[in-house]
Amino acid sequence: MGIITGLTPGLHINLVALILFSISPILLGYTNVVAVASFIIAMSITHTFTDFISATYLGAPSDDTALAVLPAHRMLLEGMGHEAVKLAVIGSLLCLILTIILSPLLIVIVPLIFAYLKDYIGWLLLAVVVFMILREENLNKKFWAFAVVALSGILGLVVFNVPNLKDPLLPMLSGLFGVSVLLLSLTQKVVLPIQRTTEMIKVKTKDVIKALGSGVFSGSLVSIFPGLGPAQAGVLSSQIAGKIDVFGYLIMVGGINTVSMVLSLITLFTIEKARNGSIIVVQQLLQSIDVNMLVLFLCVALIAGGIATFLTLYISKIFSSIMNKLNYSMVSILIIAFVAAMVLYFSGFVGFLILAIATSIGLIPNIVDVSRSNSMACLLVPIILVNLL
């Protein structure tokens, strides 16, 4: 199920977890509640590995992979799509192992961090947004970065306040980071080079350590603080890590999602708070977890992550060979049409309108040559206002 949700834009693990919860009375006639919870955890961990395939080859971001789409797409256009997926998988696996090794320490410090920083998260994120704008190299670019932040922030505020809108992130993030990138590829008449599946990636040890450290730190923040997601953590990480090459960046972003999922189990154990949809379902099933159950679930996560590593790399090679045989312009058109159809199906006409507006905003950073990560204000600004007002 984690493979299916990872490869299908718009199909989220939270939806599958909710369906499982709704039919749990039937399932519990055949198995026990711990087995159902283990299924959800294994699916969730696998999803954090496989969703980079659709982000890389289809340019279809979720809230978990929005920031990874841009460097991954760039590598795809250099014939290195599989390498981009491999780097994200390396980040996911190493951060998973590192987080489990550090879990005894995290069990002690998570409640302390939560108590100390919970009143300052809005100010911390505001500082990140200001830094994103100021880091642009000249006054003209700073102005355009501010414009992108303002437009994206207003879009996020509007989208999250539209009544009865299903899957608000799908049209917004697909427009800002997916469709806009594909449209630019079409206008520039990009020809996709032959995709290779080599073992030629070399990442500096210093960058790997930096990527893993900032990935674990930022993924931990996601799990501790309500409303903070992997995308916001990605922005935060990129500031913490400082100068890091694209390979190291993909390792870092790959790690954040997996760390976030594992840490959600630890926050459920320590402060009895679940920070994402699938772990909320686990909480509803079990009410609370003890040390033995936490150890079991961490083992489930580790085994699922190990299996997902091999499966993701295998599926990526299949995608890579398929891309070699396709006309990239036609593929881009088909993906745009598919994303539009998914948005119409899940979010209706209002969602389609959001997709169009978000795509327009998503084109601006490339035209004026500022960082596309400024568009993450669509998620940052609403959380800042919730925390500060």
Q: What confidence tier does 59 reach under pLDDT thresholds 50, 70, 90?
A: low
Highest mean pLDDT among 39-43, 111-115, 331-335: 39-43
Q: How many domains in the chain?
A: 1
Highest mean pLDDT among 15-29, 97-111, 253-267, 350-364: 350-364
Q: Mean pLDDT throughout 213-222?
A: 77
Indicate whether 289 pLDDT > 60: yes
For the segment 169-190, what is each residue's pLDDT rounded down to a tens digit? Answer: 778 888 887 788 778 777 766 6
For the segment 71-128, what is each residue's pLDDT rounded down to a tens digit? Answer: 777 788 778 888 888 888 998 999 999 999 998 998 888 788 777 777 787 887 788 7
C-beta of residue 251 within 8 angstroms of C-beta of residue 87: yes
Domain residues for the domain of 59 are 2-388
Q: What confidence tier does 358 reach under pLDDT thresholds 50, 70, 90?
A: very high
- The encoded tokens of residue 163 equal 């009544």
- The encoded tokens of residue 166 equal 């299903």
